[in-house]
A and B are shown apart, each in its own frame.
Chain A
Amino acid sequence: MKDFFEIRWHGRGGQGAKTVALLFADAALATGKYIQAFPEYGPERMGAPVQSFNRLADREITVHCSVENPDVVVILDQSLMSTVDTTEGLNDGGVLIINTVKKPSEIREAYKVRKEIKIFTVDASKISVDEIGSNKPNTPMFGALIKATSILDFDKMLLDTEEKLKKKFKSKPEVVAGNINSIKRAYQEVVAE
């Protein structure tokens, strides 16, 4: 019935779950999509579980309800899976993308994820430490998300993100390169079952 695509991001306060939803919406807009990005506001404390959301469509989105049945859930911190119901509302055929060192089969086993949900994993923390120099798994997850869903044109998105980062970090070209490389690596390194 619905003609838009919904994403839910799970993270911990300070990990950039809000920022990543905003950045992803901005990147999607640049590829010609209609977009929404909004955080769930509650306990805004470092480490507390937080969520943020995206809607993407090829038409105007006038729905302003919360996202209850996402098509994709992205988890920035695997440890959240034992405390938060991260697959809540995820329909059969839905996609779960997790920042973890584990393989999808290990995640399915450990958290009893039902077989109708597709699982993708990527070690975005390691990628960000390698490429950016700190554990900032949010931007690399762009790459994993696009690879897993083909929701956006990867090359277009990458080009636009690079432009925006260049504007934001004029004096720090290494930050731009690090982020772009980490998105590319996550795109390549994300694995399905």
Chain B
Amino acid sequence: MKKNWKELDIALIVKKGGTAQDFKTGDWRSSKPLWDQEKCKQCLICWLFCPDSSIEVKDGKMTGIDYEHCKGCGICAKECPFKAISMEEEKK
């Protein structure tokens, strides 16, 4: 249930940080990036360019793609110098 007008915080401020994470945008995607670990040299250029912080990195190494937030823009595939990311049509 959404809050009624008496229950809302003043000026409708959002009282915590990082709330964009709660907003799943992965289902906006019409094409999907696929990561080829063999070709990947861990340059992290994809991480640098991804506008949605959807390249998952752990201990300085790429570990995968966050499909809950990736909107499928394809920038990572375009920028990857080693063609380690390719785009395929989303089948849902």
* Direct A–B touching, Cβ under 8 Å: no
